[in-house]
Amino acid sequence: MTMLRLRLHGLAMALAVVGAAARALAAEQPLITPDAAYREVARSGYLRHVEIAGDLDLSRLQAPAGVARIELQGVRVQGRVHSNANGPAVPLSIEGSVLQRLELSGARLRAGFALDGSTVQGVARFDDAQFDGPFVLNAGTLAGGAVFRRARFGAAVEIVATQFDKPAGMSGGVSFADARFAAPARFDRSRFAGDVRFDTSRFEADASFLGLVVSGRASWRNVIFSRDAEFRFCRLGDADFGDAEQMTVFGGLADFRGCTMRSARFDYVDGRGDVMLVNVQVAPGDLTLRQAALRGGRSDFSGLRVAGRLDLEGTYISALQFHWPELAGALRRAGARSDVLRPLQQRLDALQQKEEARDAWAILADQVLRERLAKPDTPVTEKASLWLEWLFWGWSTGHGTKLGRIASLTLAAWLLLSLPLLLWPRVRLGRWQGPLSDAPPRHRAAAPDALKIPRVAAVDRRLQLLAYSFGLMFAIPGLRLRPAEPLPSGLQNYLAVMRGVGALLLALLALTLANVSPVFQAILGKVVV
Amino acid sequence: MNRNSRSRPDRMPSRLMAAALLLFLRQSPAVSAAAAPDDAQFRAQYSRQYDLVKSLGPDMVVEELRLRVELVASRGSQVGAASNDRRVRGFESALLKGLQDALCQGGKPRPAPQARPSPTVIDSVAAAANAQQLRTVGADVPELSALAQRLVDSQTPTRLCALRSLDEVR
């Protein structure tokens, strides 16, 4: 065992020494001139672990015959990397390198360009550049800002897992404004520390922004996504997809599933394919889709959560899937009008989401009443009737949708209205002895001779009074309890009022029950048929 | 009819014009903001932006200026015709021309005003914004003025007067 331990210890020591030597070699890269770099590339097609003292002109990198790709690995460039004329004739790949500045403004690279696992310490400029081959930025860091304004990409673009830092003194904005992407473009898992702007850019093929992180404003105003645009699990600050003057078009799928945004504006968006806002979270800001037209085969808002307002003014949404409780609060905060709420309620009805449709109906009916009341030309009499409608039907029953509310209200009214009866002194109750058809109306007093008035304890008397008031208010059949004469006229009138209120509450309860209970609806249906 | 009542209709067009001018000034934030460089809030926004970009190279100041103008231009236009890119470019040209008109004579520099914020720079920014019908709001004019001022300060007067476009700023 001791020998084995010693051998393992020795092996570990040897590995540590080898590792340290490798690190030392990597740290001390040979310093060469740019001309030497051009010569080495022309000889072998690659450069490895060297430091270039000066500017590197990509147009002077020429691969030897038979070499299909120029590779720069572990290279450190002290000056700027630029291209005075057309870039190399074969694809250029820069891996694990550190560049001081990358200035490809207005350059044209005929073959592919790849920057893999590399860092650009200063600014990276690609404005007005044209890339005829594939363009790759993979797992790198652009620490000094980046500009892609008016860049033209003729082949696939992969800006994947790349970090765009916010240099001190800058807003950290990265602009892809007016860029053209002729082939699929991927920005998956890239992180922008500041703003990113794709305004007026054109994506001729699929665009993918999976897991994209933007800390500031992410703007896609006046953008045309000709094919699918996928933003699944993105994390954006303030997302902006345009407005009346700068509307954005989604030609194919617009997939935002699982995205988180601080606020999102989709005003006037033209969604020609499916729009998926499933499990999207917008907090703490608003989600607006004013005048947007989502006219694909499916517009799925299931699981959408908006902490602020959800503005759907003038929005057209085809084949909408959603859950009312998820949107109700945000719509209320937006002050949604009846022309917004009505199609939503009708859609819930069509989707057979009955309970949700009922809840939406209550909010819609309330809003309709509010709008009619707000009209300046509504006559006072109509306003009064609207108020009454709201009080007796809207508030008390939620427009025939809140069975629990009207039941509680009925119970509370019975107990409350029974209190004066319980506290009224010397009210005697008795059972009607004769046939019920000869009995006086239940709110009137009967002659003591016609009643059987038992001697009961105070508690039993109160229970008896409660039973009487219940029977009085809710028209319990076969009620024989009657108050005995003499009864003050005030109390007689009060009992009549109780009976009236009870009848009204009973009617509201019955109507609500008929509205919400499938069993009742079935029974009513049979009765009507 | 007395003389006063006769003269009223004659004064109407001038009154209407004055009202229209007032309305224009009220609705043109670039002009109204530019007219208030002594405002404490304006000065604070200007100073904050100027200090923020003090450490940047001149070309990066131009980039910051472009990003800021892009943001303003993306709010849309009162005329809505020109593309954002043209409006950003138009703003840059108008700004440079305005600055050179104020600070140069016959391609040679002339003494620059020392005041900060400089009314010359603010006027150039406001004029460039108005020329492109940009909807400047809030901190736009003070911050754009600070960036333009930093740009002016980063160039020698001779170099500034010789610039043909902001692309040449290094």
Q: Is B39 on the interface with A (CB under 8 A)?
A: no
Q: How far lies A256's CA from each of A55, A183, A193, in Å?
A: 43, 21, 21
Q: Do B52 and A199 touch (CB under 8 A)?
A: no
Residue A382 C-alpha from the chain's centroid: 40
Q: Do B74 and A219 touch (CB under 8 A)?
A: yes
Q: Do A169 and B56 touch (CB under 8 A)?
A: yes
Which pLDDT tens digit goes with each residue over B116-134? 888 999 999 999 999 888 8
- The burial of A162, by beta-carbon neighbours within 10 Å (0-12 exposed, 13-18 middle, 19 or more buried), is given as buried
Residue whose C-alpha is closest to residue A207's, from A273, A260, A163: A273
Contacts with A177 from chain B: Cβ below 8 Å: 70, 84-85
Interface of A with B in 120-149 (CB under 8 A): 123, 145, 147, 149
- Residue A11 is predicted with a pLDDT of 54
Q: Do B66 and A175 touch (CB under 8 A)?
A: yes
Sign of CA dihedral A448, A454, A457, A463: negative
Single-letter residue type at A478 = G
Alpha helices in chain B (DSSP H): 3-27, 29-34, 40-53, 58-73, 84-103, 119-131, 140-154, 157-162
Helix A403-423 and helix A489-516: axis angle, to 10°?
A: 170
Q: Do A200 and B59 touch (CB under 8 A)?
A: no
Contacts with A145 from chain B: Cβ below 8 Å: 60, 63
Instruction: Give the phi and the psi of residue A175 in degrees, each rounded to 5.
Output: -110, 125
Interface of A with B in 226-265 (CB under 8 A): 240, 243-246
Interface of A with B in 416-475 (CB under 8 A): none
3-class state of residue B28 by DSSP: coil
**Token pair recorded at residue A464:** 């008896």
Nearest to B84 among A173, A199, A243 (CB): A199
| CB contact set of B152 (below 8 Å; sequence gap of 6+) | B99, B103, B112, B121, B160
Q: Do B68 and A178 touch (CB under 8 A)?
A: no
Q: How far apart are CA A149 and CA A437, in angstroms?
A: 93
| DSSP string computed for A301-312 | -TT-EESS-EE-
Residue A317 C-alpha from the chain's centroid: 16
| Dihedral class, residue A117 (left if φ above 0, else alpha if ψ from -120 to 50, else beta) | left
- Band of pLDDT at residue B78, cut at 50, 70 and 90: very low
Which pLDDT tens digit goes with each residue over B24-61? 444 444 444 444 666 889 999 999 999 988 888 888 89
Nearest to A171 among B55, B67, B76 (CB): B67
Q: Do A171 and B68 touch (CB under 8 A)?
A: yes
Pair A262, A237: CB distance under 8 Å: yes
Contacts with A143 from chain B: Cβ below 8 Å: none
Separation in Å, CA of B11 to nearest CA in chain A: 38
Please give the angle made by the CA atoms of A75, A77 and A79, to the nearest 5 degrees. 175
Neighbours of B153 (CB within 10 A): 16
- Residue B34 is predicted with a pLDDT of 46
- Residue A517 is predicted with a pLDDT of 78
Contacts with B67 from chain A: Cβ below 8 Å: 171, 173, 175, 195, 197
| CB contact set of A13 (below 8 Å; sequence gap of 6+) | none
Separation in Å, CA of A208 to nearest CA in chain B: 23
Please tell me the pTM assigned to this model.
Answer: 0.79
| CB contact set of A42 (below 8 Å; sequence gap of 6+) | A62, A63, A64
The complex scores an ipTM of: 0.70
Q: Do A178 and B84 touch (CB under 8 A)?
A: yes
Sign of CA dihedral B154, B130, A249, A202: negative
- Residue A12 is predicted with a pLDDT of 55
Q: Is A171 on the interface with B (CB under 8 A)?
A: yes
- Residue A527 is predicted with a pLDDT of 59
Contacts with A197 from chain B: Cβ below 8 Å: 67, 70-71, 74
Q: Is A221 on the interface with B (CB under 8 A)?
A: yes
Question: CB under 8 Å, gap of 24 or more: what pairs does A326-330 form?
Answer: A326/A301, A326/A302, A327/A301, A328/A359, A328/A360, A328/A363, A330/A287, A330/A306
What Rg do the C-alpha atoms of chain A give, in angstroms? 39
Strands A163-164 and A141-142, by their bridges, are parallel
Kindly identify which residue of chain A lies nearest to residue B86, measuring between CA atoms. Answer: A178
Nearest to A169 among B55, B68, B71 (CB): B55
Kindly identify which residue of chain A lies nearest to residue B55, measuring between CA atoms. Answer: A169
Kindly identify which residue of chain A lies nearest to residue B52, measuring between CA atoms. Answer: A169
- Band of pLDDT at residue B9, cut at 50, 70 and 90: very low
Separation in Å, CA of A238 to nearest CA in chain B: 13
List per-residue pLDDT tens for chain A, 529 residues long: 455 565 655 555 555 544 554 454 455 689 999 999 999 999 999 999 999 999 999 999 999 999 999 999 999 999 999 998 888 999 999 999 999 999 999 999 999 999 999 999 999 999 999 999 999 999 999 999 999 999 999 999 999 999 999 888 887 789 999 999 999 999 999 999 999 999 999 999 999 999 999 999 999 999 999 999 999 999 999 999 998 888 899 999 999 999 999 999 999 999 999 999 999 999 999 999 999 999 999 999 999 999 999 999 999 999 999 999 999 999 999 999 999 999 999 999 999 998 899 999 999 999 999 999 888 888 888 888 888 888 888 888 888 888 899 999 999 999 999 998 888 877 888 888 888 888 888 888 888 888 888 877 778 888 888 999 999 998 888 888 888 888 888 888 999 999 999 999 999 988 888 887 777 777 766 655 4
| pLDDT above 70 for B15 | no
| CB contact set of A39 (below 8 Å; sequence gap of 6+) | none
Identify the bridge partners of residue A114 per DSSP, sorted by sequence position: A93, A136
- Residue B22 is predicted with a pLDDT of 43
Separation in Å, CA of A81 to nearest CA in chain B: 16
| CB contact set of A497 (below 8 Å; sequence gap of 6+) | none
